[in-house]
Every structure is written in C-alpha cells, then in structure tokens.
Amino acid sequence: MRIYAQVQNAFTFTKYDGMDPEIGYGTEDNGWVSGIDLGYYPRPRTFLVGANIKF
C-alpha cells in the first residue's frame, strides 16, 4: 500500500500587490517585463492525494 500527497503553489511570499508576481509579458523586440498582470489569472493552488492498493 502506498499513500501520497502533493501540493503545487502552496505559498507565495511577496509584497507584490497584483494577482501573480510570476506573470509577465514581452516580445523579442522589447524584452521581458515581469510583474505586469494585464488581466491574467494567477496560477492555481493544486492539491493531490491518492493511494495505491494492491491485492
């Protein structure tokens, strides 16, 4: 029997006021601009719990 759990994006420690500090935009011409939300949704917090049972 195997029991497992996984959490992605459990915590974000920052003083950033927007929805997600990792979101950004840019092109090859003007470079990458991080921290500009432009209406994007933040990355979800994901929980996964499971068990493998063999008989």
pLDDT in 10s for each residue of the chain, 55 residues: 999 999 998 887 878 776 777 766 655 556 666 656 666 677 789 999 999 999 9
Strand partners, 13: none
Beta strands in the chain (DSSP E): 2-8, 24-27, 31-34, 46-52
Domain containing 12 equals: 2-52
pTM of the model: 0.55
Phi, psi of 3 (to 5 degrees): -115, 135
pLDDT reported for residue 16: 73
pLDDT reported for residue 32: 60
User: What type of residue sits at position 43?
Assistant: R
pLDDT reported for residue 30: 60
User: What is the distance between the alpha carbons of residues 52 and 32, in angstroms, rounded to a whole number?
Assistant: 43
pLDDT reported for residue 1: 93
Q: How many domains does the chain have?
A: 1
Q: Could you tell me the two tokens for 42?
A: 């933040």
Q: Are 31 and 12 in contact (CB under 8 A)?
A: no
